[in-house]
Structure formats: structure tokens, C-alpha cells
Structure 1
Amino acid sequence: MPWAKLHANSTSASHSCTPMLTQADDFPIHQLPEPIATAGTDRNFYDRYYFQGYDAAQGTMIGAALGVYPHLDLIDAHFMIQQDGVQHRVFASRHLRSERMDLQVGPITLQVLKPLQQLRLQVNDEAHGVQADLTFNGLSAPIEEPRFTHRAGPRTIMDLTRMTQSGLWEGSITLNSQQQSVSHWRGTRDRSWGVRPLGARDGQPVPDAGPTQWYWLWVPMHFEDHLMFFHTNDDAHGNGWNRSAVLVSLKDQQQHKLYDVRFEPSYRPGTQQMDRCSVHGKLPDGRPVRVDLHCGEIVPKQGEGYSHPSWGHGFYQGPLATHFERVDTRNWALNDLANVHRHAMSSASLHIGDEPARQGQATLEQMLLGEHAPSGFPPLGH
């Protein structure tokens, strides 16, 4: 009875000013002397899963994102399949009610089967002919990327940590009643958390923030006996304020951070769509490493929620809502700002010292806005 009385008092208090207890509070994962429902004070705090995968031989690509937004009290999920130039998109959003352990959003469900190793993604949108039951198995331990902190004037726009992991997909996909087996599809996932712009944008301008500028490349690469990861955030002058490359040996599972990292891009004429890119670096023992990338089919990331005008990450859609789209991905202008965030399926050639070249695949993600002097890109509006 004393416990019941205490529990009743706690419940009453939670409705007034104290954050509610949730399933996560029964796990030893607290970082603050508060319930897990509390996530600092920034309304843009988020916690997201991202996935991509592909069958290079058949040209089929999948992508997914699931995001939790504690201060917005929302959770949303996005899933897309791109095949034969058509992207099939399933979106869902609901109230979070502070319960972060429940990762089902309408027809999309995510399960963490083995932390840092194995996850299961299920989609059941029978009404639009999209179903999937997919398991991601990591090939190596995740890589912790350098912390991203970006400001416009005095305002913090981004402050986040991300881990990235490549692996293999197993399971099945059903599209318009046609089931396709998924076996050893290559792919990559990431987990990021922290602060970034979410949902409705802040209408208050930042004085003296300067022109909009963003140059972002993120490239996970798969080879038979190695993985490689490269990303860069460049300023308008081409200086990488957050740049890293890591080579992973699948034989011994060692992660080798490269130094003196640089890249050489080329673009399709008259566009900012990358056509080829070479990434250079050196191993700790001094051996040079080079990857040559050749971009193929383009995958707009709106199907994963990124930059979508109405179903972007963290937009309020009501207590529970779903949405479906079917989009022709070969019928839009490459310079359309609506699809500035995209990736390209790419072939890759890895050169380590004087060893024979290794052939593989990659996805080259890009988001290029505004000035980038080395590429000859002017400020927005010029």
C-alpha cells in the first residue's frame, strides 16, 4: 500500500511538471538525474536511425529513416524502394507520448535484435503494394564520426554525433504483389543524435549569419575484404571543417583512420551533380590510399524524408498519419533545389599502396548549396 500511494503521487506529479517514466527508464542508460523522457532543453533534439541498401546487379535500392523527437513528442518513419527509375515511398508519423522504446510507426516497425550488430526493418503497406521484412547484419563495428558542430553566426544549427556501419541485408521485399528475395545485399546504416533543424523552421532570422552555404559528401564503400568511409563538410573556400576517412580491414576488423585526406570531384556539365570523385589519404604506416568513384543512377533522398516539403523529418502530421507516393526519378532537373539532397549508386576502385586494385560499390551522397570556390560554384542567387 505505501508503494501504491507513492506511485499515485508520482503519477499526479508527472501530469504537472515532472517528465513521465517510460520503458527506457528500466535500462541502465541514463545520462542525467532525470527520466529518459527529458532530453536537454533544445526543441530540435533528435535521435535517428538511417538505412540504405542495394542490389547493384538489378539496380534496386532501398532507403529508410526512423526519427524520435522528444521535445516535439513525435516519431516518424520513411521507407522507399527505387526500381526501374520509379521510387515507391511509404511515410508514417505519430505522437511519441515520450515512449522511445516503441519503434513502430504505422506500417513501419524497427527492432534492435543485437545492439551494434543486427536490426530488423518491417514494412506492411498492403494498400499500396509495398511490403518488406529485412534484417541488417553489420560486417564490422560501427565507426564513430567526428562530432558535428555548426553555427550560423551565434546560433547553433547542428551539434550531433553519428556512428556509421556497413553490412549485408537478408529477407524479402514485395512490390506490387511481386516478391523479391534479398540475400547479401550490401548496405550501410547510421545512428545519429543531437541537434539539427527539424520540422517547422524558425522564422526569426539570424543577423549577420551570412549567405546560405552547405557542401556535404558522405560516401560508404564496400569491397570484398575492406570497407571504407569518407565524408566532408566544406566551407565556401573548400576547407573541410569536418572531414574524415576510415579504412576497415574485414580480415582483422581493424579500423585505420587516414590522414592528409583530400578529394578531387568532377561534375556533370552544367550541373552540381557529381559525376566522378577520387578520395586520397594515407595510412598510419605511410602507404597511400586512393578510391576512384564513378557515379551512376541518382536516388533522391526525399523518399527517406530528407528535404521533403510536407513529410520531412519532424513535421507534425497529427496523432497518427500515413502517406504514400510514387515518383519518376528520371524526370526531374538535376539543378532542382527540391532534390539537392541525393545520392548516386557508384562503382568504386580501391588502391592501397602497390597492391592490386580492388573493385566494389559505393553510394555517394551529396548536398551542395551555395558557394564552393574549388568547384566554381557561386553563392546562392548569383
Structure 2
Amino acid sequence: MKPAPLDEFPVHQTPLSMAQVSTSDRNFYDRNYFNAHDRSGEVFLVTGFGVYPNLGVIDAFATVRHGDAQRSVRFSDALESRSTESVVGGYRIEVVEPLRSLRVVCEHEDLSMDLRWEGSFEAVLEERHILMDGPRTMLDASRFAQVGSWSGMLNVDGEDFVVDPAVWLGTRDRSWGIRPSGAPDPQERFAEEPREGFWWTYIPLRFDDFALVIILQESPDGHRSLNHASRVFADGRIEQLGWPRMEVDYRAGARHPEHVRVHLTTPLGEPLLLEIDTLLGIPLSMGSGYVGDPAWSHGRWMGRDWSESVSYDMTSPDVTAMLPYNVVDHVARARCNGAEGWGMFEHANMGRHDPSGFKDWVDMAK
């Protein structure tokens, strides 16, 4: 094995070369995620880039929903060596200033962009994320999140969007660790004893004077296995906001969250009421490569120098039938004790979830 370019820098954390990660788990990953919107609820971008050292794969995607149309392009290639460069096919990420400013470029005839990210507040390191499936560890990862603004250009199917930082906002995260990647692991026992449900909520929001980052995960009986709620101020102060209590108004006949109330508590015991209305949404298994996409998923070997472009009619019966079984990223318009904010409401409520009143995978809101 050859040394990696990263071996030139004093960043080692194990006796191994930086060409290797400290675990032999095939599902180790290292990923960027971004979203962007113009606060109109008419256009929404979700994009990301990942490397999978133990699978020898590198890939990226960009997905834009405009009204009822959604366009996705993705790139994949062999990962030859880990380095500071984040490039695959026509996609690249440039770190202009760590933890503050980045450039994201996608070059494809159906979807192109050249965008500059500027963080509005300090990045927040979230609680370590662990998800178990019986005795099996499905996910064990770390992540930091940040809210900010975008500038530059975006073109989707021949239509130009001028990305003005006074209007265009978004959130991003960097995560790394173990999560299902590439070809599915053998299920064996777990194919006969599937999980009863999956409940997940992730809410990064930007206000004028502060940012909120909330991340919650619960088992079917309502036991909370991950709880993070923090408020970040411009001077870098971070305060914890306790144990959030969340109420979701779902659309009748579906599991689409229309309005959300999150009850938070400051360190002094003062209540904070966060209210969220969801606007445009992107289901992450349609074009973005997250779990459930039948055509392409993160870390999957597609061959060298592979690229693909797909489009979706978000009103088609095939799409709407799958929405209750998706993690969906929504543009979020929020109010917190009178202040207005914008960001993302990422949510999944699949299968049984006792606090929501859902009994099984086909039960929908009344």
C-alpha cells in the first residue's frame, strides 16, 4: 500500500497510514451534506459528497425540486487514495475557510451550479449518533451542523436561478463513521424479524440573532435514543435546550408533517416555543441515494467514471405512494418566541410509533 497525500500532514489518529481508516467495517463513510432554498417554497436544492474507503468508492449527487418537478444528477468512481480534494466526475467541493466558507460546483448539462457557502454561526458538534437493530449496530457516527447563506448560480433543465445571499439560505453537515453503504449487508435473521418502525427528526434553523440545531431519534415505543437541542449565538455561545417535546400535525390520510410545535427549555428553565410550517420537500430515497433508492445508493459500486441524470414527477402515483416510507427534507419556515427563522425540517415517521398513534407501516393520520 502506498502512503496517502494526507500522510504529509500532522493529522494521524491511529498507527495506520491515512490511506486506511481505523476500522475494517465495510460501512465506514465520510460525507458532506448541503441544502439551499430561496424561502419561496418553490425551489429546493439538496446535494452531497461521500467517500467509502473500505469499499473503494467515491460519489456525489445534486437534487433540485422546482414545483412538482425534481431533477437529480449523480457521479461515482473508484476511490484510489484519500486526500484533501473532494472531487468526483463533474462535482467538487473546495474548502475556502474551514468551518466557515466553502465552494460547491456541479457540472452537468441537466443540473449545474457554482455556489459559495458562508456560515452564519459557529458549527455545532452534535451528540454521537448510534442506531441499533437488535444486537446489530446499524449506525455509529459523529456529525457537525451549521446554518448559513449561499451565493452564485444554479441552472436546472435550462432554467437559471440567481442565488443571492440576501435571500438564499441553507444548512449543511459533515458526518463520518459507520452507516449502511454500498450493497446491502446480509439480513439473515433480521429479514424474518424486521424493525417495527423508524422515527427521526433533524431541525437546523437560522434566525437573525441565533441558530437552532435539534436532533431526535425514538424507538417504536417512544423511547428516545438520541437527544440534542442547542442554540448558538453570534459570539459563539452555545446553550443546551433540554429535552424537546414535539407535536406534529400530519396531513389526513398520510404522514406528511404540515405544522410542528417543539417545546424547548433554556438552562434557566424558561420555555421556548418553536413552531414550524413545512414547505417544499425532497424525499431522500428519490435521486439522493439514501436508503431506499432502488437505482443508486451511497457507496454502491457503479463502475469507473459513472454518471446519471434522472427526473421525477412528484405528483405521480408511484412517487406519492412511497412518501410515507421516506426520510423527507422540507424547507422550514419557523417562529421561536416571536423571531422568524428559516431552515430545514427533516423527518421520518415510518411504521409503528406509539406517541404518534401509528400502529404499523400502513397506518396513516386520521
TM-score normalised to structure 1 length: 0.88
Paired residue type of 1:107: G
Aligned equivalents of 1:29, 1:213: Cα separation in 2:
40
Deviation of the 1:79 alpha carbon: 0.5
Say which one has the larger Rg: 1
- For CA contacts below 8 A with separation 6 or more, give which structure has more relative contact order: 2
Does the aligned pair in 2 maintain the 1:221–1:362 contact within 8 Å? Answer: yes
Paired residue type of 2:164: S
TM-score normalised to structure 2 length: 0.92
Partner of 1:229: 213
How do 1:66-215 and structure 2 match up within 5 A? 66-126=49-109, 128=110, 130-184=111-165, 185-206=168-189, 211-215=195-199
Match of 1:310 among 276, 281, 295: 295
Match of 1:331 among 316, 320, 330: 316
Distance 1:223 1:44, change over 3 A: same
Deviations 1:36-77 (A, max 9, x none): 111111110000000001001362211101010000010000
1:35 counterpart = 2:17? yes
Deviation of the 1:219 alpha carbon: 1.1
Aligned equivalents of 2:244, 2:64: Cα separation in 1:
33
The farther-off stretch of 47-56 and 106-115 is: 106-115
Structure 2: runs of 5+ lacking an equivalent: none
Deviations 1:177-216 (A, max 9, x none): 4432211111000000000111111123246966342101
Aligned equivalents of 2:359, 2:200: Cα separation in 1:
16
Deviations 1:272-314 (A, max 9, x none): 1111111111111222111011122222222322232121111
Paired residue type of 1:211: R
Q: Considering only aligned residues, what root-mean-square deviation do their CA atoms show, in Å?
A: 1.9
Distance 1:211 1:323, change over 3 A: same
Match of 1:319 among 304, 324, 346: 304
Does the aligned pair in 2 maintain the 1:48–1:65 contact within 8 Å? Answer: yes
Does the aligned pair in 1 maintain the 2:314–2:320 contact within 8 Å? Answer: no
Paired residue type of 2:328: R
Does the aligned pair in 2 maintain the 1:86–1:327 contact within 8 Å? Answer: yes
Aligned equivalents of 1:90, 1:267: Cα separation in 2:
31
Does the aligned pair in 1 maintain the 2:121–2:210 contact within 8 Å? Answer: no
Secondary structure class of the residue paired with 1:125: coil
Does the aligned pair in 1 maintain the 2:41–2:279 contact within 8 Å? Answer: no
Aligned equivalents of 1:362, 1:120: Cα separation in 2:
19
Secondary structure class of the residue paired with 1:336: helix
Structure 1: runs of 5+ lacking an equivalent: 1-13, 15-19, 352-356
Aligned equivalents of 1:230, 1:303: Cα separation in 2:
25
Identity across matched positions, percent: 30
Task: Please identify runs of 4+ aligned residues in structure 1 that moved more than 6 A.
Answer: none
Secondary structure class of the residue paired with 2:7: helix
Match of 2:329 among 343, 346, 349: 343
Does the aligned pair in 2 maintain the 1:47–1:193 contact within 8 Å? Answer: yes
